[in-house]
Chain A
Amino acid sequence: QVQLVESGGGVVQPGGSLRLSCAASGFTFSSYGMHWVRQAPGKGLEWVAFIRYDGSNKYYADSVKGRFTISRDNSKNTLYLQMNSLRAEDTAVYYCAKDNLDYGDLLYFDYWGQGTLVTVSS
């Protein structure tokens, strides 16, 4: 069965950096686009970034553009989110999510991980 397991969350000071990972299993990872979506405590969902199945296209929300970088290693079935210049407003649970169709470019999210909490605080 499809499994997405995030890791790497924690407490970081404003201006600091953190790298999140998402280990995928149960499907052909290299055939699907992947996303990061976040949810601040008690708030709604916010899409963060997308990477195409082959890494050729990457898209970002305006709120993170220039600070966050999405990447993937298809040989390791792992998705990453490098987060730099973190701000208090980046505090959230970060989910990785999978595109619902293979070889697509920005689609719907049919499987989600359990999320990892990032807290930006001094």
Chain B
Amino acid sequence: DIQLTQSPSFLSASVGDRVTITCRASQGISSYLAWYQQKPGKAPKLLIYAASTLQSGVPSRFSGSGSGTEFTLTISSLQPEDFATYYCQQLNSYPPSVTFGGGTKVEIK
């Protein structure tokens, strides 16, 4: 099974900072990767899919890049509402399955 490893698992940053989160796949997954944001007590929210496609309604300060085994989520200028936990997710066609990364918690410095 394909594993996803996110780094860092915890990140302390200030409003206005540029933040980068990495997700590494244990084998190549082309561009079948998404990023989600989850706030405490809430359901996750889709930010990016197909590695770099911004979901409708998501602010342009969020961007995704990468393919194969290494992917990044970048927040260009961290806003107060961005403090949350972020998860990457991959799709596997054989066997059909979905895997999430372990999460990255972004907290206020």
Contact = CB atoms under 8 A, between A and B. Distances in A.
Interface of A: 35, 44-47, 50, 57, 59, 61-62, 95, 97, 100, 105-110, 112-115
Interface in B26-71: 34, 36, 38, 43-46, 49-50, 55
B46 A61 contact: no
B76 interface: no
A47 B98 contact: yes
Task: Kindly state the interface size class of chain B when it binds its partner.
Answer: 20 to 34
Contacts of B38: 45
Consensus secondary structure, chain B interface:
strand
A109 B37 CA distance: 12
24 contacts: A44-B87, A44-B101, A44-B102, A44-B103, A45-B36, A45-B38, A45-B87, A46-B100, A47-B99, A50-B96, A59-B95, A61-B97, A95-B43, A95-B44, A105-B96, A106-B93, A106-B98, A108-B34, A109-B36, A109-B46, A109-B89, A110-B55, A113-B43, A114-B43
B91 interface: yes
B99 A100 contact: no
Contacts of A107: 91
A97 B43 CA distance: 10
